[in-house]
Structure 1
Amino acid sequence: MTTITIAVTGSISAYKAADIISELGKLGHNVTVLMTESAQQFITPLTLQVLSKNPVHTSVMAEDRPDVVNHIALAKDTDLFLVAPATADTIARLAQGRANDIISAVALALPPTTKKMIAPAMNTAMYDNLLTQANIKTLKEIGFKEIEPRVALLACGDLGRGALATVADIVSAVQASLD
């Protein structure tokens, strides 16, 4: 069974993680969920726990077992690491190699052979910003694949590129990456 770790960050589209997790589970994958504090403002860990049938990890400092370093064990158990939605902040932290939350700490501890993907979701100006694009380029250079955002009417009212890819497109990209 493939273990997919999905990292949910603080975007309005965080609620779509529920459908992504559900669909990946239906395909027979074991889904582990990581959430930033801001993601928890949009969707609860309980919702994602019920759908994934696994505990949801929200803190890098939570060490439930004294014989296991949680973020290291999670990284070792991951076959594919997916950040969906991936905010500009999380993309920057991943590109800089930071480890100040559960998502960035697990990402930094991933074995080099682990498949890694990001599905950005943010305002068009933030996505097109040269800093964000440089961070995405850095992530691609170290093996991340990008599931590009869609052009749509965004939550802020702007029309442009930045909407999270569709659930079907994300699940399809994950499946293709595993084949």
Structure 2
Amino acid sequence: MTKHILLAVSGSISAYKTADLTSQLKKRGYDVTVLMTEAAQAFITPLTLQVLSKNPVHTDVMVEKIPNRINHIDLGKEADLFILAPASANTIAQLANGLANNMVTATALALPNKIPKLLAPAMNTKMYDNPITQRNLDLLKEVGYQEILPKSALLACGDIGRGALADLDTILEEIEEALA
């Protein structure tokens, strides 16, 4: 039976890498549904991810195209795994504080406890190392999220340090381990 992955994309320059991630997941036989925050859509279009995933991309928690379906609830019920990649500091903070003001956070909050939940942070080193971000990550780990650690690299802002999205091979490996 085909495994269903919810790929949530939040606002980070590394959002463009989700095109390759989506493509790689499809090539491995997974069914992929993409959720995007408004900020993510500034970096990559929903259409790109729709074409690659062969599924509608969900961008607005208040849009219900099928009257007898509540997307942010039903998508979670159908999922075998949830991954937030890239996970911005903002979306991590929203999740850690139980906010559900967009498609990504509302769906994440409604996920069944049993499914694996992965986070792949991507942000500036100072943002990642900030004690508030680290506290938020710790809170999420306490409730079952698994962090895919960012790597050290030259960041888009010109700084060098930890905060770059993990390599796609690492993310794919973590997904396959979580589903095994």
Q: TM-score, normalised by structure 1?
A: 0.99
Q: Which residue identity lines up with residue 165 of structure 1 in the other structure?
A: A
Q: Which residue identity lines up with residue 157 of structure 2 in the other structure?
A: C
Gap regions ≥5 residues in structure 1: none
Q: What's 2:5 paired with?
A: 4
1:16-53 deviations in whole A, cap 9, x for unaligned? Answer: 00111111111111000000111111110000000000
Q: How does 1:1-179 map to 2 (within 5 A)?
A: 1-179=2-180
Q: Give RMSD over aligned pairs.
A: 0.5
CA distance in structure 2 between the aligned counterparts of 1:85 and 1:154, rounded to whole angstroms: 14
1:119-175 deviations in whole A, cap 9, x for unaligned? Answer: 000000000000000000000000000000000000000000000001111011101
Q: CA deviation at 1:78?
A: 1.1
CA distance in structure 1 between the aligned counterparts of 2:99 and 2:115, rounded to whole angstroms: 18
CA distance in structure 1 between the aligned counterparts of 2:77 and 2:107, rounded to whole angstroms: 9
CA distance in structure 1 between the aligned counterparts of 2:49 and 2:68, rounded to whole angstroms: 26
CA distance in structure 1 between the aligned counterparts of 2:97 and 2:3, rounded to whole angstroms: 28
CA distance in structure 2 between the aligned counterparts of 1:100 and 1:78, rounded to whole angstroms: 20
SS in structure 2 opposite 1:152?
A: strand
SS in structure 2 opposite 1:54?
A: coil
CA distance in structure 1 between the aligned counterparts of 2:171 and 2:139, rounded to whole angstroms: 21
SS in structure 1 opposite 2:118?
A: strand
